[in-house]
A = this chain, B = another copy of it.
């Protein structure tokens, strides 16, 4: 895609094939993938891709502010091509990481600030953990069943 080349160039990143693929993956997959998830997916179209290249490239992207590294998953770092201010939710049941935007959390923008006290803020991360709507429904249902079974 021509615009990905431009996007990278604008941020001082020379657009190699690997870098374009990795950036494109992050822009088209809003799943906040781990390194391994990306590596497996990208290896299909780029069998020679090295995991080191993936790590190096992600580090470069994060440094240049075109990608966000999320810390809400203790096990693996997760990455996000959307650098606009938004929050994240991780379901501790199914593991998925969802975006939370203003429509669901209008108070969101109030905590994204440039400074707090005399501190200079460079990054804000607002993350939630709990049960996603699917898993919550299943849980309720299984409780209902267990009550029914007990009667």
With beta carbons under 8 angstroms apart, the residue of B110, B116, B122 that contacts A110 is: B110
> Is residue A111 within 8 Å, beta carbon to beta carbon, of the partner chain?
yes
Q: How far is the CB of A122 from chain B (nearest CB, A)?
A: 4
Q: In the bound complex, do residue B74 and residue A69 qualify as a contact, i.e. CB atoms below 8 Å apart?
A: yes
Binds B, one of A10-18, A39-47, A123-131, A141-149: A123-131
Q: Mark A67-84, 1 if CB is under 8 A from B, else 0.
A: 001011010010000000
Q: Which of B92, B118, B124, B137 contacts A122 (CB 8 A)?
A: B92
In the bound complex, how far is the Cα of B125 from the Cα of A37, in angstroms? Answer: 25
Q: How many copies does the complex hold?
A: 2
Tell me which residues across on chain B come within 8 A of A87, comparing CB atoms.
Answer: 111
Residue of B nearest to A118 (CB): B133
In the complex, whether A2 has a CB less than 8 A from a CB of chain B is no
A130 vs B72: C-alpha distance when bound (angstroms)? 18
Chain A residues within 8 Å of chain B by Cβ, number: 39
User: In the complex, are the beta carbons of A125 and B122 less than 8 A apart?
Assistant: no
Q: A117 to B116: give the CA distance in the assembly, Å.
A: 29
Instruction: Note all chain B residues with C-beta closer than 8 A to A105.
Output: 111, 113, 116
- Chain B residue nearest to A129 (CB atoms) is B123
Q: Give me 15 other A-B pairs in contact (C-beta within 8 A), A105-B111, A108-B111, A123-B128 excluded.
A: A71-B127, A89-B121, A104-B117, A107-B110, A110-B111, A111-B111, A118-B137, A119-B130, A120-B136, A121-B128, A121-B130, A123-B130, A124-B127, A124-B128, A125-B125
